[in-house]
Structure formats: C-alpha cells, structure tokens
Structure 1
Amino acid sequence: MLSDRSQLLFKNLMGLYLNDGKPVGSTTLAKLPDIGLSSATVRNVMADLEKMGLIHSPHTSAGRVPTDVGYRLFIDSMLTYQPLSQQNEATIRHELSTGLNQDALMANASKVLSGITGMTSLVLMPNKEQEVLKHIDFISLSANRVLVVLVFNDQDVQNRIIELEQPIGSDELQKTANFLNEQCVGKNLAEAKQFLMGRMDSIRSTTNDFMSSIVEATDHVLEEQLEQKMPFLVSGQTNLLNYQELASSDKLKALFNAFEQHSEMLSLLDKSMQAQGVQVFVGQECGSAIYQDCSIVTTPYQVEGEVLGVLGVVGPSRMDYQKVVPRVDMTAKILGSLLKK
C-alpha cells in the first residue's frame, strides 16, 4: 500500500508521462501546484517508489518512467473511467452502420475502433463453423446465372453468383431451394457441409442434372464460407508510427510480424473470451517480449449473452486509458447490438 504522499506523487508522475512520454524528474514534480513538497522530499519518495519496482530510470536519464508493475497499479487502483457521451455513442453507432452483412460489419468495426482510439485495432471473428444456416434462396439473373443467397444466424447474409452449364427455370430453382431448406436449415455450417458431402452421390442419382448442379454449387459456397481462415482483423497498423517508443523500424517490423503470426495473439484473444468485461494487458502480460512498451486492451462482444468474439486495440503502454477503455467497451456493446439486429 502506498502512503497518501507516495500515491499523490506517483499519480502525478503517471499523468505527466502518459501525456508526453518523457521521463519525469523530481524537480518537475515539485513544481506542480498540488504537490507542496520540496525537491529533496520528492527525490526521497521517488527513490522509495523505485525500490518498490513502480518506476525506473531509463538509461542515464535523471527522470523516471513507470514500469509494467507501475502501470498495473495505476490501471487497477487509480483510474476512474467515465462513460462516453451520448453524442460519442451515437457517432460510433452511425459509423458502424447497420446495413452490412456480418463480415463487412466486422471489418467496419475494426476500422472504426482504430480511428477513435488512434491505435491498432484487433477484431476476433466469430467461429464460422458454428454459424447456423437459417435460409437458402436462389434468384435467377439470366438463363445461366443464378444468385445464391445464404442467411446465417439471422444477420449474416452471403451472396454468390454462379454460372451453370445449362439454363435452368424458376420452378427448378424453387424445388432445389425447398429441398435444401428442408434438409439443411437449422444446422450449423459444418453440419450442413457434412450433410451435403454425405448425400451428394444420392442427390446426383435421384435428381435431374439441373438440381444436382445447383446443390453442388451451394456446397461450394458453404465450403468458401468455411475456408475463410482469417482469425482476426487488424486495422490501423500505421497509427503506431505516432508513438516514439514504438516507431523504430525494428520495433514496428516485430509488431507487424506478430500480427501476422496469429498464434500468440490468438492465445491472448482466446483468453479474453473467457473473461468478463474489459481486460488490460501491459508489457509482457501480453504474452511476448515483442510487446514490451505496449498495452493491449480487449473486451468480448456478444449477442443475447453468447460471446461471439473479442475486439481490442494495441498501442503504447502510455496510452490514455481513461479514453481508450470506454471506447473499446462501447464499440463492443454497439457491435453486439448490431449483430443481434
């Protein structure tokens, strides 16, 4: 536990460092109007804070900067988060937009989050295999061109145009749609795909060529949906150039490579899916030395109590948590509400 004086100095040091990223000296702290202590007293308190592992001196600088332990104490014990204004909430909701299918909405959420935080955003996609098929329809575009419409989870609509070798009539399209809706609706994506694979030989032998072609084309659309392997979306990588501690070419290269090497980040995002509310990971809490001088803020997004994925941001450890955390939290809540619609 920190004394009131130590807590006051540490909180002010954190405020100065988060604002400009420069080591904070005892003289600078002593000059603050609400400190009321001599430079010598401030130096003694700073020395105590350093012994506690909350601050350290980078290189030969006379100033001090927070350690990962210091960040953790500050985030957990000293910050108060204010909810976003109704205007900011309305702006996020408007920018996300409701008139998009699920994949487009996810991509939009990633871009919006990076824009409103000034960080790199991450959005863990829902598990495609567990998407439930709600409806199948076919729309004739011309004699040989058909639009396949698949609706998943009531809000994810996927469209594909297929080319057939022979013309097909609207009656055949309707029969095929009725058959597939009877057999596949209510199954998740993996189950629907497995059913069609198991019944394909029987379908070919008991139906005409037109219906077989449409069923096979639908199977290919399901396969394409399953093969969307991108586990999470990343936006705003170049935002990291704005932070001196992350802007070296070697540091950026390592971070960008880490975003592409999904395993480490997926482990962290999977961990976040099991947690309640916003999580803040500082430095090596992120799971790798690559994230030294970084923090990752994450929170799950959900529909009707079911967690579908996680979104969050990667930025410098000296990010403005009081602004970033509520924006991440609100974006997740709005995303969940739009997915529900």
Structure 2
Amino acid sequence: MIDERARSILKTLVERYIAEGSPVGSRALSRWSSLDLSPATIRNVMADLEELRLVTSPHTSAGRVPTPLGYRMFVDSLLTVKPLTQDIQAVLSQHIKQDDPNKVVSNAVDLLSSLSSFAGVITAPKKSASFRQIEFLSLSDRKVLLIIVTPDGDVQNRILITEKKYAQSELTSAANYFNQHFSGLSFREARQRLADELGRISQDISQLMQAAVNAGTESEKNAVDGVLVSGESRLLEVNDLFADMDRLKRMFGMFEQRTELLRLLESSNRAQGVQIFIGGESSLVPMEEMSVISAPYDINGEVVGTLGVIGPTRMAYERLIPIVDITAKLVSSALSDPQ
C-alpha cells in the first residue's frame, strides 16, 4: 500500500512515460503533477517507489520508468479510461455488423490492429461439433475415406482402416443409414445412440459405423480453434521492441507457434470484461516489454472466443481498453441471433 501522494506521482510518471517514452525526472513530475511539491520531495517519493519495485532507474539516468509491477498498479487502480470518440465508435459500428461470420471476425481483428497501431488478435468461434452428413468412399481393399460435412459447409476427410473390404454399395447404404438417424448430432452423441442400435444393424456395417464415430470423436477432441493475427509487422515500428532483436524473435516466435498465444487468449474466456496481461507477470506473457489487452466475446450468451491487442508495455491503456471492450460487444452482437 502507498499513500495518495505516492499514488499521484506514480500515476503521473506512468502517463508521462507512456506519452514520451523517456525516463521521467523529478522536475518533470513537479511540473506535471497536480501536487505542490518541490523536486527534492518528489525525489524522496520516487526513491520510496523504487524500493517498492514500482519504478526503476535505467542505466545512470536520473529519471525513472515504471516496472511491470508499477504498470499493474497503474492499470488496476490509477488509470482513468477515456470514452471512445464518436469517430472511432462509428468506424467500429460500420465494419462490425451482422454479416458473414468470417467477415465479422476478420474485420474485427483488422480494426483492432489499425486503431491501436499494434497487433490485433482474435480466436475464431469454435466450429460446430455436429455434422450434417457423412459419406464413405472406397480407396483400396481395407481403406475407406470418411467425408464429414458440417452444418456450415466445412468438409473434413479422415481415412479409416477397416477389418474387411466393403463394396461401394455397402458404403453408400451405411452412409445413408448414418445420415438418416444421426444427422445433426455430435459424434459423441452419435456414438452413444449407435451403441443402443447396434442390435438392429448388421455386424459388418456396425463395425464401419463404429470406426466412423471413433474417427469423428477423435477429430472433435483434437480440434484447436484458429487464431487470427493482424498487423504483426506494426510491432517492428515500436522502438521499445525493435531495439532488441532477441525480443522480436521471441515475440514473432509466439505468433508463429500460436500455442502459447491460444493459451493466453483462452485464459480470458473464463473472465468477464477486459483483461490486461502485463509483460513478465507470468509465463503467459514472457516478455517484460509486451502487454496484452483482451476481452471475451459470445454468441447468444455463450463465450466462444477472445479478441484483443498485443503491443508494448508502454501503450495507451486508457484509450485501448474501451476499444477492445466495445469491439468485443459489437462482435458478440453481430454473431448472435437478432433479438
């Protein structure tokens, strides 16, 4: 805990550092803060803040810069969020509206990047776990191609290794039975219903259907939501990141691998509203110089993904937080059924 005087000085220091990018000295704080304090008094307060690891002095500079812990206190309890301008609200509303879901997602991530001048990121909505129809196609003596068509028209292929050779007429008959009785279900649901109906299906065909639901269930289990990123190259223009090639390599490695990025975004799915990840606080954001502002979005009340902005720790949080928040709300509205 720090007193109100120290909080005010820390708030001013972070705001000036975000705006100017240079270590902030006591004279600048004396000029910019609302407190009537001498530079000497401010130096004493800054020494206390440094002891608490909220600020640090880079190199031999007399000025201070915020640490990740200082940024965390700033965004959690000192930040004054600015309302969005009408121009930005109009741009977001114009480009994120009920339309093709793929356009909603891609437009949102592009807007997040252009409005922030950093990287925009979004996890695509989860694909439907159900299927509209399947087809079987004979490939060789014991290989069968399973073709799965989802309700939204996506086509997935799986190769089945069967215990016997099936004539194409048998494969067609099995597919017709499967589609007639199980269409619209997930493969997990189809597996359960198939278990109840095996007695009415010939053994050979039941084995084929069992192989199909096993393959489909495994497909559902291993499915990974897509992560769309827009504007990674904008980060090359950020001095805080560009000055160190190792930092850039780690950051772009995260973009390429996507696994850590997905884990970070999925952690936001369990929260309500905007989340801010400050660099160095956890393994989710391994770089001290990088921060992520994210928010979940939903379809008809069910959270299906996360969107956000990835940029330097020295970013305009008070401006970007409402942009991420409103974008998430607009995406939720555009993807949900009209009321």
Give the TM-score taking structure 1 as reference length: 0.73
CA contact (8 A) 2:293 2:324 kept: yes
- Identity over aligned pairs, percent: 40
Name the SS for the 1:300 alignment partner: strand
**Superposition pairs for residues 29-178 of structure 1, below 5 Å?**
29-32=29-32, 34-85=34-85, 87-100=87-100, 102-128=101-127, 130-133=128-131, 152=151, 156=152, 158=154
TM-superposed CA distance for 1:190, in Å, is 7.2
Q: Quick one: which of 228, 236, 255 aligns to 2:231?
A: 236
- Give RMSD over aligned pairs: 3.8
CA contact (8 A) 1:190 1:226 kept: no
TM-superposed CA distance for 1:334, in Å, is 0.9
Aligned equivalents of 2:20 and 2:178: distance in 1?
Answer: 61
Aligned equivalents of 1:323 and 1:263: distance in 2?
Answer: 28
User: How many residues get paired?
Assistant: 298
Q: 1:182 to 1:258 in 2, by over 3 A?
A: same
Aligned equivalents of 1:33 and 1:277: distance in 2?
Answer: 31
Name the SS for the 1:31 alignment partner: helix
TM-superposed CA distance for 1:262, in Å, is 2.6
- Deviation per CA, 1:214-270: give whole Å up to 9, x if none: xx9xxxxxx999998563111110121232111133321210111222332222222
CA contact (8 A) 2:97 2:330 kept: no
Q: 1:82 to 1:16 in 2, by over 3 A?
A: closer
Q: 1:116 to 1:192 in 2, by over 3 A?
A: farther
Aligned equivalents of 1:332 and 1:290: distance in 2?
Answer: 25
Aligned equivalents of 2:185 and 2:29: distance in 1?
Answer: 63
**Superposition pairs for residues 151-300 of structure 1, below 5 Å?**
152=151, 156=152, 158=154, 182-188=180-186, 231-247=226-242, 248-287=244-283, 290-300=286-296
Q: Which amino acid aligns with 1:299?
A: A
Give the TM-score taking structure 2 as reference length: 0.73
Q: 1:184 to 1:20 in 2, by over 3 A?
A: farther
TM-superposed CA distance for 1:276, in Å, is 1.4
Q: 1:238 to 1:192 in 2, by over 3 A?
A: farther
Q: Which amino acid aligns with 2:66?
A: P
Please list every run of 5 or more consecutive structure 2 residues that lacks an aligned counterpart in the other structure: 134-148, 157-175, 213-217
Q: Quick one: which of 311, 314, 319 aligns to 1:318?
A: 314
Aligned equivalents of 2:10 and 2:290: distance in 1?
Answer: 20
CA contact (8 A) 2:9 2:33 kept: no
Please list every run of 5 or more consecutive structure 1 residues that lacks an aligned counterpart in the other structure: 137-149, 161-177, 206-215, 217-222
